Amino acid sequence: MVELDRMRMRAYYERMEREGGFVSFCRMWLPEDIAGARVLDVGCRRGKGVYQISEHVGANGFVLGVDWSEPFLERARAGEAAALARSGLSASNMAFRFGWPEDLRVAEVADGSFDIAIANSVMNVAFDRQSAYAEIARALVPGGLFYYAAVVADGSPDENALQRACEHGDVVAAALPEEQLLAELRAAGFASCDVVERMERLDGARAARPIVVAARTLRAQ
């Protein structure tokens, strides 16, 4: 990523409204048994998903929450002790770091360092979705899984409306058609992309529906 793009990206996230519209809509979906796994939560917001994953991966696992909002990260860290008390873990198996979906190296995320990555529909308002998906693929081990709980649109997007939706952090109004989402994931390096769950349609600015996509990175040869 060139410096000019990094500067534009930083400005984009700093301008984005933290809450508005349907920005808080999310759904976490994980396999039943992830004990001992290393999990990356992209766009962790206030950390509620990280707390839940922490319980699932247990003492031998680890979960890293990455977000671009320092106030949200502060709230996530503030709730860590209470989350550990609820889970009964004697030592922390979680961390929160500042970073952008498009540049996870800022959060010290190395190549192939996670078994599973998750994100919810906050990715709809990312600065550069294609770069973000490619970064997530880079962070996963060969054959690793990306679980994406997304809101997708029934109709074709209007570019001006999409831009306004992103500025306001409205993930529903910023939703793309399912076919476009899956094509972007494949182009970013995910060998298979399967919709594993479909939910009821949402009432919002555009006709949209939530889905959960399981995307697997290329396996080692």
Over the stretch 170-216, which tens digit does the pLDDT of each residue have? 888 888 899 999 999 999 999 999 999 888 776 655 567 888 999 99
First to last CA, the chain: 28
Q: What is the pTM of this model?
A: 0.90
Class of residue 189 by CB neighbours under 10 A (exposed 0-12, middle 13-18, buried 19+): middle
CB 65 within 8 A of CB 41: yes
DSSP label at 94?
E
Q: In the prediction, which pLDDT does 18 show?
A: 58
Over the stretch 53-68, which tens digit does the pLDDT of each residue have? 999 999 999 999 999 9
* Degrees to nearest 5, angle at CA 150 with 130 and 87: 110
Q: How far apart are CA 134 and CA 195, in angstroms?
A: 19
Q: In the prediction, which pLDDT does 205 show?
A: 52
Statement: residue 23 has pLDDT above 90: no
Statement: residue 90 has pLDDT above 60: yes
Nearest to 210 by CA among 149, 154, 166, 124: 149
Q: In the prediction, which pLDDT does 22 show?
A: 45
How high is the mean pLDDT of the chain?
Answer: 87
Nearest to 98 by CA among 30, 156, 33, 45: 45
Over the stretch 100-131, which tens digit does the pLDDT of each residue have? 999 999 999 999 999 999 998 888 899 999 99
Calculate Rg over the CA atoms of the chain: 17
Share of the chain above pLDDT 90, in %: 61
